[in-house]
Amino acid sequence: MNTTYWSWDTFFEALPIVLQGLGITVGLTITCYLFALLFGFVWTFLRRVPNKAFNWIITWVMEFIRSTPPLVQLFFIYYAFPMIPGIGLTLSPFTSAVIGLGVHFSTYIGEIYRSGIESVDKGQWEASRALNFTTVDKWKKIILPQAVPPTIPMLGNYFIIMFKEVPLASTISVAGIMFMANSYGAQNWSYLEPLTIVGIIFLLLSYPSAILIKKLEVKMNTRFDKNAIVKSDKKGAIM
């Protein structure tokens, strides 16, 4: 079927085929995001190691990952890893995508965590020392509960960004909606309709998510503004 114009018949023929990859696309997005959330903590705590040389190395590695296109990283993990002497690590397309995209976005999420941690009042750190909290209890009961909530809107934005970057995984044969659309187009010499379907799917999923994140951001900002007013009133009352 070779068409140079829009065809509704082709559209409805391609629709169920493209939708077959929706589960893979959504599953890959969630898996990559969870990986990035967890690995982001690794970068955050590594950067807090009190050693200038080590801290410089970690910072350089993070900058290198952020400065390198994720597509290049996916290709390197999937195609180059098996060729490294002494390692020869062969990964499935899905696993390669999770590691590549997960590590790439974890560097940004790590910075979000760092900003949240640095926003915690110094008095809270001093209070944890005064109460003789262990390191685990200090982070679990005092620091993280205060550092994470303000970062939720930014983390939500990165979830949407990651969802839109996941189609890159089609280049290493992850059978998501982009891969299915390209496969249909190659077999039928008709790319307009299947790629339009991909665009519609991303719009239908991304736009409501963006609205939800925006409402959450407004709610969180209102909440913290109220907390700031309460604290200010208390200080004024004490004075």
CA distances from 7 to 12, 99, 142, 188, 196 (A): 9, 39, 59, 12, 12
Residue 126: the pLDDT is: 81
> How many other CB atoms are found less than 10 A from the CB of residue 71?
14
Is 2 within a domain? no
Q: Which residues of the chain have pLDDT under 50?
A: 1-3, 226, 228-239
Count of domains for the chain: 1
Q: Give per-residue pLDDT as tens, 22-78.
A: 999 999 999 999 999 999 999 998 998 889 999 999 999 999 999 999 999 999 999
Which range marks the domain in which residue 185 is found? 29-238
CATH, residue 47: 1.10.3720.10
Is 10 within a domain? no
Tell me the pTM. Answer: 0.83
